[in-house]
Amino acid sequence: MNTHQLRYVKNLVVGCGLSGMVVAERIASQLGEPVLIIDKRAHIGGNIYDYKENGITIHQYGPHAFHTNIKHVWDYIQQFSDFYSFQLRVSAWIDGQAVPVPFNFNSMERLFPQFLAEKIQQKLITRFGYDVKVPILELRKENDADLAFLADFVYKNVFEGYTLKQWGLKPEEIDPTVTARVPIFVGRDDRYFQDKYQGIPLHGYTTMAEKMLEHPLIDVRLNTAWSQVKDTISYERLFYTGSIDEFFGYSEGVLPYRSLFFKKQELNHPYEQPTANLNYPCNYEWTRVCEPKYFLDEQTDHTVLMREYPQAFSLGKNEPYYPIANPDNNALYEKYLLKAKKLASVYFLGRLGDYKYYNMDQCIDRALCLFTQLLQQ
């Protein structure tokens, strides 16, 4: 890309992930204004990017199962793809076998003696009700001996090891909004999510992204980092979905993130795992293995596994994936947020821009809300 050709654009979006694409699509289709999107990667879609290889759609940056209870988000995203009805089920390798997670009544009956499982189940129903999620750190506060046994078992075998690998921190050092993602489910629903709307884009996320970007007023430049163009381009509005600390030159310090490394393995038999995702809380150095052919029920005589290895984020060496939410890090982010509020017509959004652990539907909702705010200005 020749950056000297860039002078003025009405709307500049940094980052061609889900947040950036939604903002660009809305501005182009609803306001009729031109948008330039730049992204340092060689492909569109950000972390939802996928590709088809030998009959299997591979999620390059980890498994992405779409789920939401937000109807306007579901209505919006369906404009760009039909969805295959898929409801994620996840297993965890515990005591030498794969059991459902979140840990539920079925998990207990696989691992505990029948009398103990039934006793604990009844106490859970009496205490919390049925078909409800209970965060593990909340369950650990219970005084009942049987519930304390359950809490300690799940904490040690499901939660603690996985959290240490995933975040590099103990569960108590992570914001409760993050730890609440690994609850105990009081019931038998083996689905990982209970959202009303769930599925996978029928032809993959990349095809959906192409549809979002097909408006003639949207121009996409790949292999183009913000640092390459920031001094050679002017704009009326800037929508920045990269790391907010990077935008400000790390003036207040580097925000902590966790990074990931993925290793692909091909096997010459149809299936390897009982579910799309198999977590390893206590064994091995990887956290989970994804078998992506489950997502679209792709029928092949071979399969692919994607192993996921969490890493510490190191500036310039790997990519930031997950903001690490805790009081100290949130306080550092607030310093950058104060700087951001002083800028006219510059908007930060997305996981890295907002320093929040968003799901896909939350990214879309955030971008749609931001566009609504633009209309009201």
Q: What string of DSSP letters covers 127-186?
A: HH-SSEEEEHHHHTT---HHHHHHHHHHIIIIIIHHHHHHHSS-GGGS-HHHHTTSEEEE
80-100 confidence digits (pLDDT tens): 999 999 999 999 999 999 999
Task: Tell me where in the chain the CATH 3.40.50.720 domain(s) lie.
Answer: 3-44+213-256+322-376
pLDDT in tens, 2-47: 334 557 999 999 999 999 999 999 999 999 999 999 999 999 999 9
Name the pLDDT band for 334 (thresholds 50, 70, 90): very high
Q: How many CB atoms lie within 10 A of CB 48?
A: 23
The whole-angstrom separation of Cα 160 and Cα 270 is: 33
Q: Which residues contact 97 (CB under 8 A, 6 or more apart)?
A: 110, 111
Q: What is the pTM of this model?
A: 0.94
Sheet of strand 8-14, all strands in order from the earlier edge strand to the far edge: 218-221, 35-38, 8-14, 234-240, 346-348
Q: For the segment 194-206, what is each residue's pLDDT rounded down to a tens digit?
A: 999 999 999 999 9
pLDDT digits over 210-242, tens only? 999 999 999 999 999 999 999 999 999 999 999
Beta bridge partners of 263: 307
Which overall architecture, per CATH, does domain 3-44+213-256+322-376 show?
3-Layer(aba) Sandwich (3.40)
Residue 355 CB partners (closer than 8 Å, separation 6+):
244, 255, 323, 325, 329, 330, 333, 336
The residues, any chain, with a CB within 8 Å of residue 76's CB and separated by 6 or more, are 22, 364, 368
Q: What's the rounded Cα separation, in Å, for the pair 4 and 225?
A: 14
Which are the contacts of 369, defined by CB distance < 8 A and separation ≥ 6? none
Contact 17, 320 (CB under 8 A): no
Count the helices and strands in the chain (H runs, E runs).
Answer: 14, 19
Mean pLDDT across the stretch 282-300?
A: 97
pLDDT computed for residue 245 by the predictor:
97
Tokens representing residue 176 in the block: 């409760």
Three-class SS of residue 49? Answer: coil
